[in-house]
Amino acid sequence: METEAQISLTTGHDTAVRSRRDPSPPRRRAAACGLTGAEALKASKRLQKVPSNLDAALTFLAFLADFRLSKDDIAAASSRYPRFLHLKVDETLTSQVARLRDIGLSTPEIGRLITIAPCILSNPRTISRLEFYLSFLGSYPRVHSALRNNSSLLRRNNIESEVKPNIAFLEQCGLTTCDIAKILMSGSRILIMQPEHVKEIVACADKFGMPRESAGFRYALMAVTGISPVRVSAKLDFLRMVIGCSDAQLHIAVSRFPLILTYSEVKLSRSLEFLKAEVGLEPQYIVLRPALLGYSIQKRLMPRYHVMKVLNEKGLLKKDTDFYSMVKIVEESFFKKFLLPYHRSVPGLEKAYLAAREGKMFPEI
């Protein structure tokens, strides 16, 4: 029985079937594996010099069928690793799969791994790296989370000279194995950096005054990874100016929400302008609740502010309910607490809220 991917590959062009040699290999093979538009063009340019034929492609697709990969899965793998389209079912590939089974991966897990890290099929060195991460993180689902957020873990690092020394140093700094595992699964690149650079990152995070054993310090490490000390200093100066706060107040804000350092000046400016000019919040209120700056204006801040305003005007909002308490809760809880109870007393409120989340004007209610 032909797989969906095989049918796609064999029915797109009669000329390809007649010749058995793909007359326009890169573009057609990219499209055959589910890539379209710019993705197909990008992949095809990287494949111009790699010879292939339809028979080899069909054999490879049949091989992938054993791992229950859908056409979307194959397209995702091809987009991540365009040479994936030209892998051959040879001794290297079958040996890689055998080694994956030897280290304990099941067939479904191998299929999931191929989707996010297709290089695993062609590079023998990736297996030992994968084995290390399995040992460190303890299970494949945790490794999958790490690879999904940072696929370069298998491609561009040296376990002995970078990863292990960095883990040892972070443990010396007071982080537990669990803390380091959470950093790794978040997609942070700190473990695969040069050890000297990691020491600079820790020194930068230390400036925020958080205890090294705290969750805040872990978030600070993730926030400043990839940002130069000069850039961190510039971002702090910018925040101090746009919030309108003192050094001490800014220290509080960053210690409570280190990820604030990762947002662009444009986003921070727009969020602060809305919170101060539209909602009417004072700098001190924002400093103590800096997570407000991380939410989307359109999807979260503005729609919920309008709901708060309507309920306030109608005297339906409890006195101890402030803006942050309405913003921080998840969507389901917001509906249960601030929309569903007023379905009859404030008709149209739920509809107006949903429309505002889609970028439409919030109507008068």
Task: Specify the higher pLDDT residue, 111 or 61.
Answer: 111
Last residue of one domain, picked from the residues 226, 257, 282: 226
Tell me: do 288 and 314 sit in the same domain.
no
Give yes or no for a contact between 346 and 316, defined as CB atoms under 8 angstroms apart. Answer: yes
Tell me: do 161 and 218 sit in the same domain.
yes
- Look at residue 147 and tell me if it is in a domain: no
Give yes or no for a contact between 216 and 179, defined as CB atoms under 8 angstroms apart. Answer: no
- From CA 135, how far away is CA 131, in angstroms rounded? 6
Q: Which residues lie closer than 8 Å to 60 by C-beta, 6 or more apart?
A: 87, 88, 89
Confidence check: pLDDT of 45 > 60 = no
Exposure string (b/e) for 80-91, b if CB count within 10 Å is 16 or more? ebbebbbbebee
Q: Which residue has the tokens 């491609």?
A: 155
Name the token pair of 194. 């040069």
- If phi > 0 it is left, if psi is from -120 to 50 it is alpha, else beta; for residue 281 that is beta
Tell me: do 197 and 236 sit in the same domain.
no
Tell me: do 194 and 204 sit in the same domain.
yes
Confidence check: pLDDT of 68 > 90 = no
Last residue of one domain, picked from the residues 82, 110, 129: 129
Tell me: do 234 and 216 sit in the same domain.
no
Weakest-pLDDT range from 184-188, 211-215, 269-273:
211-215
Q: Which residues lie closer than 8 Å to 149 by C-beta, 6 or more apart?
A: 185, 186, 187
CATH of the domain at 47: 1.25.70.10
- Look at residue 152 and tell me if it is in a domain: no
- Look at residue 19 and tell me if it is in a domain: yes
Tell me: do 201 and 234 sit in the same domain.
no
SS3 130: helix
Total residues found in the chain within this entry: 365
Give yes or no for a contact between 67 and 30, defined as CB atoms under 8 angstroms apart. Answer: no
Q: Which residue has the tokens 């397209």?
A: 75
Tell me: do 172 and 107 sit in the same domain.
no
- Look at residue 146 and tell me if it is in a domain: no
Tell me: do 255 and 220 sit in the same domain.
no
Q: How far apart are the first and last CA of the chain?
A: 59
Weakest-pLDDT range from 8-17, 49-58, 93-102, 147-156:
8-17
Tell me: do 175 and 241 sit in the same domain.
no
Tell me: do 289 and 306 sit in the same domain.
no
317 residue type, one letter: L
Tell me: do 19 and 117 sit in the same domain.
yes
pTM of the predicted protein model: 0.70
Taken in order 171, 204, 146, 215, is the CA torsion positive or negative?
Answer: positive
Mean pLDDT of 270-285: 96
- Look at residue 282 and tell me if it is in a domain: yes
Per-residue pLDDT band for 25 (boundaries 50, 70, 90) equals low
H/E stretch holding 349: helix 349-357
What is the rounded average pLDDT for all residues in the chain?
84
- Look at residue 112 and tell me if it is in a domain: yes
Give yes or no for a contact between 29 and 52, defined as CB atoms under 8 angstroms apart. Answer: yes
Name the token pair of 313. 């005007």
Tell me: do 185 and 78 sit in the same domain.
no
Strand (E) positions, 102-247?
Answer: none
- Look at residue 144 and tell me if it is in a domain: no
> pLDDT per residue over 192-251, tens digit each?
999 999 999 999 999 888 899 888 899 999 999 988 888 888 999 999 999 999 988 998
What angle (nearest 5°) sits at the alpha carbon of residue 213, between those of residues 140 and 164? 45
Last residue of one domain, picked from the residues 294, 317, 337: 294
- Look at residue 208 and tell me if it is in a domain: yes
Can you count the helices (H) and strands (E) in the chain?
22, 0
Number of domains in the chain: 4
Query: Which domain does 120 fall in, by range?
Result: 4-129
